[in-house]
Structure 1
Amino acid sequence: MSPSLAFREERPDGEPRGTLLCVHGFPESSAMWAPLLRDAARAGWHAIAPDLPPAGGSAPDPPHTWTNQVRRLDAFVDEHDLGPVVLCVHDWGGLIGLRWACDRGPGAVRGLVISDTGFFADGTWHGMAQTMRTPGEGEQLVQAFDPATLAQTLRALSPGMGEEELADYVRPFATEAGGAATLELYRSGDFEELGPYQGKLAALGVPALVVWGAEDPFSPVAGAHRFGKELDAEVLVLDGVGHFVFDDAPERTSAAVLAFLDRL
């Protein structure tokens, strides 16, 4: 049996208006959600974000496959008795969280916030992901990404990342097991596996907000508009922001999510 996941959580004073469940990408952790969790709790929401292994406070727990991360998220929801949630996802958190929502079916979610991710069967991997997925090349890249080097790379991509967040993000790469877990995730699935899921997000019939960085080099902004069209969702594209929108524009992203929550 897998150990319980580490997580961050904020609760409001009094009875919550609902639960906001936030699922991080890689190489991030629940730390990326800290400002939003606080803001959501102040607005009356129970806000919670797990660390999917090997991220944050959750130790490596093989296998670290796409399918197993979905199972871990499902077990986390049951363990904490979260009930219908507003699901907020970013990067790999989208591939994991949106798949979980579709597998769980109607009633699991009451709203979706989707950020800089993909969930399309005809999707393609960006350059760094292709390297991670290539035997030999991926191992070389992970070996080069010691914590200091990875932190330097992330600073260049995301000027809004603070030192505390960076330390949390790069911690898994201090060990061989952490780097191997990241490779395992990237190599564990293909976009073609999403074929049976096409149309299932829309079939959930819940409101959706799409938040995207206009300068995202990994998930092109065309994906935002495709989600918007398929889900009849509001689309917010933030100018001057790259892939890590919640790190680089915490005030704008929190404001957008809280306004969305107010409309539910």
Structure 2
Amino acid sequence: MHSQTATVHGITMRWLEQGEGLPVVLLHGIPTSPALWRHVMPKLEGVRCLAFEMVGYGDSIPAGAGQDLSISHQAEYLAQWMDHLGIERAVLVGHDLGGGVAQIAAVRRPELCAGLLLTNAIGYDSWPIPSVKALNAGGPLISHLPGAAGKQILRVLMHRGHDNKDMASEALEEHWQPYARHGGAASLIRQIEALDVHDTLAIQDALPGLAIPARIVWGAADPFQKIEYGERFARDLSAPLHRIEGGLHFTPEDHPGILAEQILRLVDEVRHAAAPL
């Protein structure tokens, strides 16, 4: 995996990249970064794998200063970045907020989306979750907390969202580092303040009309994004639903093998759909 940067419409954008072939774009959520996919990417052979960093997240936190960090605008940044790289069509894979970004991009720019995989993704009216709403309400105070207190907030989220507790500890150390380097809890609050459920409500009725190969992979015991939303995505996208029984929220970290397998199955479907008769 190689870290890459490019200036797109005056904004420095970052991503991890490996491999060659059909582009697969991996989209993270909150409070993570492209590192969310660190155990999935090595298993994705035979594709060009790009893990995009949302503007204002990870080590792109500084680039987000003064920018709109809403999910709606993240979809626009994603499309601009793909255009800049000359990626005409890609399989979009989204977790958490990244799933919302993928949905919006697929609806707005259907020519860019060759296939769609959602795993424990936001959508419809499923978000922001209660704990995030509470953080938003306490934003002015939380923004001034010292680093140790900010890290504790992430610790709670990680341990509630991982069924593999060793991975929860690894993930905490991985995902806290960008916040520690770039503003601590204040940067997390800025991300939270940009969240608006209307971004996904605005496109929900368009999902059944996408008519693209799709797959849903869901940690069935997720306390944040309930399995009922995974079932709804499966119906609206006419997609198979792979349930990870006992799985919680952070499926790319707890179950990278399952995610990689399902992504590659979707890639095969996309290739088959594009093959001449």
TM-score bracket, normalised by the shorter chain, equals 0.7 to 0.9
Structure 1: gaps of 5 or more residues: none
Counterpart among 49, 52, 63 of residue 50 in structure 1: 52
Q: How far apart, CA to CA, are the structure 1 residues paired with 2:196 and 2:155? A: 29
- Which stretch of the first structure deviates more once superposed, 46-55 or 229-238? 46-55
After superposition, the C-alpha distances for 1:166-205 in whole angstroms (9 at most, x for unaligned) are 4341123326745334323323343234443133222221
Equivalent residue of 1:111, what SS? Answer: strand
After TM superposition, the score normalised by the length of structure 2 is 0.81
Check 1:58–1:153 CA distance in 2 against 1; reply closer, same or farther (3 A cut): same
* RMSD of Structure 2 on Structure 1 (CA): 2.4
Q: Does 1:251 align with 2:248?
A: no
Check 1:109–1:149 CA distance in 2 against 1; reply closer, same or farther (3 A cut): same
Q: Does 1:138 align with 2:144?
A: no
Q: Does 1:29 align with 2:33?
A: yes
Paired residues of 1:132 and 1:187 also in contact (CA < 8 A): no
What code does the residue aligned with 1:115 have?
Answer: T
Q: Percent identity?
A: 24
Q: Does 1:6 align with 2:7?
A: no
Q: How far apart, CA to CA, are the structure 2 residues paired with 1:164 and 1:64? A: 30
Check 1:11–1:175 CA distance in 2 against 1; reply closer, same or farther (3 A cut): closer
Structure 2: gaps of 5 or more residues: 1-8, 271-277
Larger proportion of strand: 2
Q: In the alignment, what sits opposite 2:177?
A: 171
Q: How far apart, CA to CA, are the structure 2 residues paired with 1:205 and 1:256? A: 19
Counterpart among 149, 155, 159 of residue 152 in structure 1: 155
After superposition, the C-alpha distances for 1:101-133 in whole angstroms (9 at most, x for unaligned) are 2121x211111000112221x444321111133
Q: How far apart, CA to CA, are the structure 2 residues paired with 1:151 and 1:219? A: 17
Q: Does 1:221 align with 2:227?
A: yes
How many residues are treated as equivalent by the alignment?
254
- Pairwise CA distance, 1:89: 0.1
- Pairwise CA distance, 1:69: 2.1
Q: In the alignment, what sits opposite 1:128?
A: 131
Runs of at least 4 residues off by over 6 Å:
none
Q: How far apart, CA to CA, are the structure 2 residues paired with 1:58 and 1:181? A: 11
After superposition, the C-alpha distances for 1:75-117 in whole angstroms (9 at most, x for unaligned) are 211222111110000001112221122121x211111000112
- Which stretch of the first structure deviates more once superposed, 228-237 or 52-61? 52-61
Q: In the alignment, what sits opposite 1:107?
A: 111
Equivalent residue of 1:131, what SS? Answer: helix
Q: How far apart, CA to CA, are the structure 2 residues paired with 1:160 and 1:139? A: 32
Paired residues of 1:64 and 1:184 also in contact (CA < 8 A): no
